[in-house]
Amino acid sequence: MKCIDWIKQATIRLSFSNTAIKDVEILLKYVTNYNYAYIFAFNEIKLTINEYKTLELFLQRREKGEPIAYIIGEYEFWSLSFYVSPVTLIPRSDTECLVEQALIRLSNKRYKILDLGTGTGIIALSIAFELPKCLIIGVDINYEIINLAKKNQFRLNIFNVCFLKSNWFSSLLYQRFDMIVSNPPYIKINDIHLKKGDLRFEPIIALVAYDNGMSNLAYIIKQSKKYLKKYGWVILEHGYKQGLSVRNLFKFYGYSNIKTCVDYSKCDRVSLAQYI
């Protein structure tokens, strides 16, 4: 079968998805290493038998709603390519807003930064990539997640990061940081979106929190003061309706320079504050 014919058929089969064209291009490039520009320039290119079989298996998984990132095991974030797996969340581009806000408040000095709930390691490794003199510690709750983050670390050859197993701060006694960042679970338990789209396939423990999604955010804000150096920052990703609640928590616990930043869709997404 010609690549161009497969593209047409696959796009029709994935018409339920509002990203069908992008999905098809990603699958095709992953299997054949051909991008659309090359295929349409040389429209006689044919799939090998093995390529066709692999694409068919991937297409069937996507038809069932499985996220593309889990199918190919990769996702691009901050112009870096990360391994992903069903043990962690799939990175979202809006999390780049958190990285941006962290970099605004850091320079390439020997700062010490903590990434709570590091998952695939995207936040820790993106900051470390930009600031090689900084030391970033990324923690998560089990070794399977930590091993995935380490796999990304070695893939990207970024070694100013240390990944540790820790239930939030539990393995970090007496340590102090210049900055604490986190994208914690913040969806309320009965949220209808949990039964839709990619969220159906992602680990529930990495998605939901008690108290209408606020329990982890509240815990981090309360505890962070014990682990921050003076003038240190806390930067948190949260739901688009949680900005005011997060700012109020920062205020209640005595932080200064409190601010909420919007994501690429102009929705509240990242809140930050400083310990003075």
Binding residues for substrate: 183-186
Q: Give the residue ranges of the annotated binding site for S-adenosyl-L-methionine.
A: 117-121, 140, 168, 183
Alpha-carbon span 159 to 161, nearest angstrom: 5
| Residue 95 dihedral angles phi and psi, to the nearest 5° | -65, -20
Spatial CA neighbour of 112 closest among 102, 122, 97 = 102
- Token pair of 258 as six digits: 């409190």
Sign of CA dihedral 251, 254, 258, 262: negative
Alpha-carbon span 170 to 139, nearest angstrom: 10
- Token pair of 91 as six digits: 């990175």
For 84, 128, 130, the CA distances from 89, given in Å and listed in that order, are: 8, 20, 23
Alpha-carbon span 50 to 247, nearest angstrom: 54
Sign of CA dihedral 122, 172, 186, 190: positive
Q: Give the residue ranges of the annotated binding site.
A: 117-121, 140, 168, 183-186
Is the Cβ–Cβ distance between 94 and 122 less than 8 Å? Answer: no
Residue type, 55: L
Is the Cβ–Cβ distance between 69 and 75 less than 8 Å? Answer: yes
